[in-house]
Amino acid sequence: MDFRWDLVWSSLPTLLTGAKLTVQLTSISVFFGIILGTLAGITRITKGPLKAASATYIDVIRGTPLLVQTFLIFYGLPSIIQRPIPAYLAAVLALSINSGAYVGEIVRSGIQSIDRGQWEAAASLGHSRIQTLGYIILPQAFRRMLPPLGNEFIALLKDSSLVSVIALEELVRKGQLIIGRTFRPFEVWFAVAVIYFVMTFTVSRFVNLLERRTTLQS
């Protein structure tokens, strides 16, 4: 069977439209995931009920598949709130909650990697724990968290393909629709794989550049 390059080229506009939605979903989800994960990571190093709550959230989300979480939000949650959830909103919620759990562990390990003596030195200068965390600890921890945060973005970019199961027309779903019309799966999945590689490679290079710049500035 001959490889049909003409099908690859003709499919590109449709696939790139799906890729645009994939990048959009990933960017929004990582944004909210960083906010949620930062709160979870900080509360993990505190004492009291918040620590237990954040630990439970992180363990449960990391211990269950993203696909199941997506099904719970898109199919399960509407039965509780008695109204349907749009596929786009369900995808953002599932990806954000999933990303937040992994970012939470990144933030926790980043904060705890900073020498304890810096907390004590800041306290001796009269800084509160919040001031110490915001002005001294987090800026240093961010440089150490940057590589794993970049990896999380790349992982979520690829994992976003799972939202195709709720008929959201991102990159993978667009590929499925093209295959349904052409019955040429190899060419279409080849094009999808190339687009994913280009996206992840670009993000990886950008993170490496950002990491080098933060290292030079430190």
Q: Which residue type, as a one-letter code, is found at position 12? A: L
E-only strand ranges, the chain = none
Q: pLDDT digit of tens for each residue in the chain (218 aa)?
A: 689 999 999 999 999 999 999 999 999 999 999 999 999 999 998 888 899 999 999 999 999 999 999 999 999 999 999 999 999 999 999 999 999 999 999 999 999 998 888 888 888 888 888 888 888 888 888 888 998 999 999 999 999 999 999 989 999 999 999 999 999 999 999 999 999 999 999 999 998 898 888 776 65
Compute CA distances 161 → 87, 192, 212, whole Å: 13, 11, 30
For residue 151, the model assigns a pLDDT of: 93
Question: Is the Cβ–Cβ distance between 32 and 128 less than 8 Å?
Answer: no
Compute CA distances 103 → 13, 17, 37, 95, 150, whole Å: 33, 28, 5, 12, 10
Full-model pTM: 0.91
169 Cβ neighbours under 8 A, 6+ residues apart: 17, 18, 21, 177
Q: What domains lie within the chain, and their CATH numbers?
A: 5-217 (1.10.3720.10)
Spatial separation of the C-alpha atoms in residues 174 and 24, rounded to whole Å: 15
For residue 127, the model assigns a pLDDT of: 84
